[in-house]
Structure 1
């Protein structure tokens, strides 16, 4: 069964018909009201016709309607929008298997300045999750031959960070106590209290926690050897991870950075500078491109060389 077949239930009959015969490694399915149905493949971005054929012409593609959008929105919310409101306010809902539906629409703000709802949903981007056993083998062989090390995985969007982080969590969690802070439900894909993805026999999952709350709670109550979390970058994330490091807990995390230069200039660099992260792994096209030691990155930063 392909990843696409696992998400067909979230689409209207006419969209499902176009998708049902699609093969290959699809990373995204995009619906825009009034726009062409499109998919993202490893090496190209294409449109789909009514019969599921690839085309480079938007004019020949199946046009998505508001009814298609409404059908998918209600399906990913399990026909209970209220129960998914907190995720909707963050702009996405994660479904079984770790696939994530991101929404475009009109934000409704509360008097305090926080988003309290999204209305007039006019676009949905399905990001297809991939559980790939062995995706983190190179990290384990290179960085963890002599015990646990802290690892930062970085790369552009859709470069494979989460897939590799998930497998690293699985491999480490099969050997040591691990706490996974799965804020967006993408790594373990917990549903009804059960993880749909393999994240390690000794892994405790904190689903839906903010990274700050999840990290600090895990330190206090679970005594993990490693904490795993996805998409770090805010000041609160950095502060909580620094507390984990001070507490002697190893960290595996990911962050959005398109290059080493961006990483060295970003908010996460202080955790590299103090060696809270001992290795940094650059991903590209869903593979590991290079593994850096923190010392290498610190020297690059001090030299001012562009990478």
Structure 2
């Protein structure tokens, strides 16, 4: 946590280190000018009512994040967040400057939201037998509401496919990370573990990034977060015609809801998605409600059990297998 603590003014560092007993449980730290610091943890939010950061304190933190040159953060400020070493993300709000109808930057800073990156590994392992078919990676769509665990699951699945796991060989993965949430790149270098054979197109629009990745890096699998536009779906169809498997996520309550969405119709009309992993809208993120086939029907338990048994019969060390490349 030293990367996070070091950006605070010294008096605020002392307050936080004295009052936060277990950093392992902390998810967010929200700093608001002249208002109490808010700590969000797995047990819920808590206000430190006696700790009131000033505007000067927020400016100090921005100065630390920019390494004393605010102009270095011009693009990040336009996006509204800064990625730190370790993959932690600092969301920013305040008064924006506009130019030609678009946000140019944020001038006056009123709030910072430090989202602590804490990788959760192997959450997708139980679902690997359903994602592979004869050693080929199926086309998969993760479905769920915001903050249900889709991105964490997608990051872990990307790593496992890239590195290889047990009897499943490693694959070349192209990750289009438009919002820098999966790989959490800093200066183009992933801060999160997304696998040794994963190439990342960071902060790039999804549709353009998919086409660029296919042309330049010849991936076996494309991974993209939160599709939704017609352009996204058109790019996915192009990728599939090029023989590339696609794993994506989409906001939605369930299969039936996304099936009615006009922009996603080509995916359903051509039945190109072979697996739908539907997440529950639960207070605890990461709960998978169901896994569906290309017809939207639950995969049979017998099929799932058989594939799990086969994977146990062929144990391979969890490592990067050069002989599989």
| Alpha-carbon offset, residue 148 of structure 1 | 0.3
Change (3 A) 1:127 1:276: farther
Corresponding residue for residue 94 of structure 2: 105
Corresponding residue for residue 64 of structure 2: 75
Which sections of structure 1, spanning at least 5 residues, go unmatched? 49-59, 300-307
Match of 2:8 among 4, 7, 11: 11
Say what the alpha-carbon RMSD is for the aligned residues.
Answer: 2.6
Which sections of structure 2, spanning at least 5 residues, go unmatched? 164-169, 299-325
Change (3 A) 1:77 1:234: farther
1:61-140 matched pairs, under 5 angstroms: 61-111=50-100, 113-140=101-128
Which segment is superposed worse, 161-170 or 75-84? Answer: 75-84
Distance 2:263 2:128 in 1: 22
| Alpha-carbon offset, residue 79 of structure 1 | 2.7
Distance 1:277 1:18 in 2: 50
Change (3 A) 1:167 1:110: same
Corresponding residue for residue 33 of structure 2: 33
Which deviations, in whole Å up to 9, do the C-alpha atoms of 1:85-144 show, x marking residues without a partner? 112111111122222111111222212x22111121111112222212202212313322
Which deviations, in whole Å up to 9, do the C-alpha atoms of 1:203-244 show, x marking residues without a partner? 112223222222110111211111112233333333322322
Corresponding residue for residue 197 of structure 1: 192
Distance 2:93 2:256 in 1: 30
| Alpha-carbon offset, residue 192 of structure 1 | 4.8
- What secondary structure is seen at the aligned counterpart in 2 of 1:195? coil
Change (3 A) 1:257 1:198: same
1:234 paired with 2:229, answer yes
Distance 1:290 1:244 in 2: 28
* TM value normalised by structure 2: 0.77
1:163-174 matched pairs, under 5 angstroms: 163-174=152-163
| Alpha-carbon offset, residue 34 of structure 1 | 1.9
> Contact 1:178 / 1:228 at 8 angstroms: preserved in 2?
yes
Change (3 A) 1:37 1:265: farther
Change (3 A) 1:130 1:241: farther
Distance 2:278 2:110 in 1: 34
> Contact 1:158 / 1:286 at 8 angstroms: preserved in 2?
yes
* TM value normalised by structure 1: 0.81
Change (3 A) 1:76 1:254: farther
Change (3 A) 1:71 1:252: farther
- What secondary structure is seen at the aligned counterpart in 2 of 1:106? strand
Distance 1:124 1:222 in 2: 36
Distance 2:15 2:295 in 1: 48
Corresponding residue for residue 286 of structure 1: 285
Distance 1:115 1:197 in 2: 28
Mark the structure with the bigger radius of gyration.
Answer: 2
> Contact 1:39 / 1:46 at 8 angstroms: preserved in 2?
yes
| Alpha-carbon offset, residue 14 of structure 1 | 3.1
- What secondary structure is seen at the aligned counterpart in 2 of 1:241? helix
> Contact 1:92 / 1:103 at 8 angstroms: preserved in 2?
yes
Change (3 A) 1:114 1:272: same
| Alpha-carbon offset, residue 77 of structure 1 | 2.7
Corresponding residue for residue 52 of structure 1: none
> Contact 2:148 / 2:287 at 8 angstroms: preserved in 1?
no
